[in-house]
Amino acid sequence: MLVNLRRCASRKAHTLVIMTSGTGIDALDAKLIELLEAEPRIGVLECARRLGVARGTVQARLDKLVSRGVVRDFGPRVDPAALGYPVTAFVTLELRQAVGHQPMAQRLAKIPEVLEAHTVTGAGDMLCRIVARTNAELQDVIDRVLASEGVLRATTVIALAEQIPHRTLPLVKEAAS
Amino acid sequence: MLVNLRRCASRKAHTLVIMTSGTGIDALDAKLIELLEAEPRIGVLECARRLGVARGTVQARLDKLVSRGVVRDFGPRVDPAALGYPVTAFVTLELRQAVGHQPMAQRLAKIPEVLEAHTVTGAGDMLCRIVARTNAELQDVIDRVLASEGVLRATTVIALAEQIPHRTLPLVKEAAS
DNA sequence: GCACATCTGCGCAAGTTGACCAGCATTTTC
DNA sequence: GAAAATGCTGGTCAACTTGCGCAGATGTGC
């Protein structure tokens, strides 16, 4: 009864291959993403049934979405908290101008607890998302970050609660105009 | 040749159901997640082949990971930039103490461009991740946020580049000790 | 030693996938 | 206006995977 969508996400060639490179999301695309987001375990066939369109259409749409980059992948979403890292913090780094962002990012990438990093405007130069097992260990992670050459200062903000967990669905619906 | 993993992520019952509620990740678990992250389109059977274990084992592990919450889901990962929202910003909100965080979060949740929101320590009360089509529209979104009752001040930082895209793999490997 | 937990390997029916094709409606191009 | 391109539909086919059950092998702790 269940199907696999992940697979179709990379089908090589299909009669219905669409090359519309243009941007923009269709209402059907949005519904498709929405459906997959809600029930990732259903498959192309199920989607087709639910959306009331032909299977080939769903496959073509999915191919298009993936090839356009709208849908990055269908990888497993890991929850750091369940993994034993319940502490999340946002750390703003001030860097020495001499060191470029690239080398800095490479050094940060070596620290597993650094889940994300952006160069930003404002007083700081980089904003990182960091996790740790405990507050004490968070300090340890930050120390490791500070040990990286080029980091002048680190301002840490601890995330107490996740009010809105990472989501894109509303955006998808909004984009389907 | 390809398989669907998403499906197994919710298998009802299997002879090998494991109820180990304890935390911690196994080396096999880590390899499994790693494999799925790298090639989301392969399936349980393929995984079993690649990891050199029985299919039932892979299915049991996956069930366990999902039931434990380590793997949240296998939903499609949407890229806001490809959707037409290339501007990302982190906005720190200062709230009037009278308004609780919950109602504030509910109001923020109504704005599609708000992808994430955390309550945080420090000078600000909330940190949100916001996207927009253009810088001009970002201003518009921020205005909408400011219009929410209880927001005293908003400090915005624009993300210039994504140095380290959201990742959890290194953490998974690290946790598999 | 015994119970318990976990992995292994096998089997089967049912369902899905991938690929292809012809037909048809709509939109774009000449 | 006619031709061409594009997109959706509905059907078929073989090959593969899934879900589920079961018996046996292995390993660990009391």
pLDDT tens-place string over residues B36-64: 999 888 889 999 999 999 999 999 999 99
Residue in B56, B30, B165 with CA at minimum distance from that of residue A83:
B30
B61 plus B117 within the same structural domain: no
Q: Are both B60 and B95 inside the same structural domain?
A: no
* Contact call for residues B8 and B59 (beta carbons, < 8 A): yes
Residues B64 and B125 in one domain: no
Q: Is the pLDDT of residue B15 over 50?
A: no
One domain, residues B106 and B60: no
B137 found inside a domain = yes
On whether residue B73 sits in a domain, the answer given is no
Torsion of CA A149, A153, A157, B74, to 10 degrees: -20
Structural domain contains residue A168? no
Q: Please tell me the total count of domains within chain B.
A: 2
Q: How far apart are CA A159 and CA A156, in angstroms?
A: 10
With 0-12 CB in 10 A as exposed, 13-18 as middle and 19+ as buried, what is A174?
A: middle
Q: Which of A68, A98, A113 is the C-terminal boundary of a domain?
A: A68
Asked if A115's CB is within 8 angstroms of B78's CB, the reply is: no
Judgement on whether residues A153 and A93 belong to the same structural domain of the protein? yes
Residues of B in contact with A20 (CB under 8 A): none
* A59 within domain boundaries: yes
What are the tokens at B112?
Answer: 């599609």
Please tell me the predicted confidence (pLDDT) of residue B177.
Answer: 76
Burial B128-156 (b: 16+ CB within 10 A, else e): bbbbbbeeeebeebbebbeebebbeebeb
With respect to residue B82, please indicate whether it lies within any of the assigned structural domains: no
- In one letter, which amino acid is A140? D
Mutation target for B interface from A37, A92, A118: give the one with most B CBs within 10 A: A118
* Averaged pLDDT, A143-165: 96
CA distances from A12 to A46, A63, B16 (A): 21, 9, 35
The pLDDT tens digits for A32-88 are 999 999 988 888 999 999 999 999 999 999 988 988 889 988 889 999 999 999 999
A:146-175 residues touching chain B, CB 8 A cutoff: 157-168, 170-175
Run of H or E residues at A94? strand A87-95
pLDDT value, residue A73: 87
CATH of the domain at B9: 1.10.10
CA-closest candidate to residue A30, choices A59, A70, A68, A63: A70
What is the pLDDT at residue B24? 76
pLDDT at A16 over 80: no
- Residue A23: pLDDT band (50, 70, 90) is low
Q: What is the mean pLDDT of residues A110-127?
A: 97
In this prediction the pTM is 0.86
CA distance B156 to chain A (A): 8
The verdict on B57 and B108 lying in the same domain is: no
Which amino acid would we find at residue A163?
Q
Looking at the domain assignment, is residue A124 inside a domain?
yes
Return the pLDDT at B13.
Answer: 35
- CATH (domain of B147): 3.30.70.920
Domain residue limits at B102 = 87-159
Q: Which of B100, B87, B101 is nearest to B134 (CA)?
A: B87
Work out if A9's Cβ lies within 7 angstroms of strand C.
Answer: no
Torsion sign over Cα B156, A162, B173, B1: negative
Q: Is residue B17 in a domain?
A: yes
Is A171 a domain residue? no
CA distance A89 to chain B (A): 8
